[in-house]
Chains A and B, each alone.
Chain A
Amino acid sequence: MNNIHFKDIFFSVFFVAVSVLSVGLVLPAVNYEYISLAAPKEQTSELFVSEPEIIYDDNKYSPDDSLGDTSRLNNSAFIGNSHAEALNLYGLIPGADYYTKVGLSVLNVLKPGEKGDILINNLYNKKYDMVFLIFGENELGWPYPKNFIKEFEKIIAETRRILPDADIYIESIFPVSLEVSEKDINGINNSNIVKYNKLLEELADPEKNIFFINPAEAVADKNGNLPSDASTDGMHFNYGYCKVWVNYLIDNVVDRNRFAGNSNEGALEETEASEQETNVGADVSGFGQEVFAPTEIF
């Protein structure tokens, strides 16, 4: 050790430093952390929501709010696209029924599906007090918006025919994030959404209990965009923003008690039963996913 020179020490330290730095460069290649089972990631029953970039100073609703009393939305039916399907999966309105599907458009509601069922016929299942119609996101790219409106009118008319006394709600199309809006793919931008919502609003006829309801205003930020913390893809809401939506509905649906004391005629009876769109089908198609029983493994 007495023969160690400064040069030797310097190169050794240099070698150590280079080695440590080299290991540090490997870290970004690790895509996700491996966690010991003994110390699982902290769990909450609700979605983790990052701090919003814009503070809703003048917005009445927040994703951190508690869910309101959803009993006001009992005995309701939701017909619509993936937004409505999220409501279904989150189970935020236990007293509602959902006839919803990812990718559903106004073209699929009145025509037979793959199994021959017609989605709107699910409204024969009960004498619903309210029907919420949620469409538009999948039709923003249509060359002629008037065709979307025409199909929507047909849905309203058929809903009214099946349920003469229900309140029918035409829901506004939700905004998308600034990033999605700027990409402007298939007509999906917030300027176009505003135009479509104006057309939807014109379909309302409160005297006939057909209402336009605008939950879009509850979720939008001050610039009319969907906040960045609302979703992963700039379109589909997380749990917190679905709560905002539901709380808005609770506060803004028309009071059904206005019918108290009136005799309501029964809904038209269907002659053919139809399968609920959201219920699991009875066919066992054997999709082919492997099922591993313990005996196969050990």
Chain B
Amino acid sequence: MKNILLLVGLSLLLILPLQGCFGGVVDVDITASGGASAAQDLSAETIADLIYSNIPFDDMMTKVPPASIKNSYGLPSCYKSGCAIYVSTGATPEELAVFEIDDVCTEDAIIEAANNRIEKQVKSYSSYAPKEVPKLESAVIYSGSGFVVVCVSADNSLAKDFIKDYILA
């Protein structure tokens, strides 16, 4: 009996370390980007890339030239300040935009444009693809550390937590 227990214990020692390989745990190197000081080293493009890498999207997303941002948000001067945008095919309203705040591209102007953009998208998709509307209704508009992030993704709750806790903390 003692030997059986010993063998069982050895078996468990073999199995338990394997749990770390199978997900369910977010392995995050906070020092890579956490904290206000790290955000100062980031650009709008870097932030957008980080979010895109870690947040799920149902649609095919493409990073487009910053100047294109005026086509969706207006804000013709903001692309000069620093911004990055990922757009979808149009099959869904998914989108990811990051704006750098400065005297020309102010936080209020960006947030207003973002709200208007979301509202317009809700009206369009309400009749075109109603099942996509919840993504818009839970869209993330987050401001912090000198940036505004607008994110419409397949998991906005995760996106909000990720942006808040790890990107623009």
Contacts and interface: CB of A to CB of B under 8 A. Distances in A.
B116 A232 contact: no
A32 B72 CA distance: 29
Interface in B113-167: 113-125, 127-128, 139-145, 160, 164, 166
Interface in B19-43: 19, 22-30, 32-33, 36
Contacts of A86: 89-90
Nearest to A86: B90
B117 A40 contact: no
B68 interface: yes
Given A36-B29, A46-B62, A94 B67 contact: yes
B105 interface: no
B21 to A, nearest CB: 9
A245 B80 CA distance: 28
B29 A34 contact: no
B60 A238 contact: yes
A40 B56 contact: no
A91 B116 contact: no
Interface in A177-220: none
B164 A292 contact: yes
Contacts of A139: none
Interface string B65-86: 1011001111100000000000
Contacts of B92: 232
A34 B90 contact: no
Contact of A26 (B22, B56, B91): B22
Interface string A226-239: 00000111011111
Contacts of B54: 34-35, 37, 40-41
Contacts of B24: 30
B63 A45 contact: yes
Interface on chain B toward A: helix, strand, loop, or mixed SS?
helix
Contacts, number: 185
Interface residues of A, number: 69
A255 interface: no
A279 interface: yes
B118 A287 contact: yes
B27 A291 contact: no
A11 B5 CA distance: 11
Contacts of B111: 291
B8 A98 contact: no
B110 to A, nearest CB: 10
Given A12-B11, A23-B15, A46-B62, A103 B28 contact: no
A260 interface: no
Given A16-B14, A281-B116, A293-B143, 7 more contacts: A16-B15, A35-B53, A82-B90, A88-B72, A89-B87, A280-B117, A291-B111
29 contacts: A8-B3, A11-B7, A15-B11, A16-B14, A19-B11, A23-B22, A27-B23, A32-B56, A34-B27, A37-B54, A47-B61, A82-B90, A82-B128, A86-B89, A86-B90, A91-B65, A236-B89, A239-B62, A239-B64, A280-B116, A280-B120, A284-B115, A285-B116, A285-B119, A286-B115, A291-B141, A292-B142, A292-B164, A297-B144
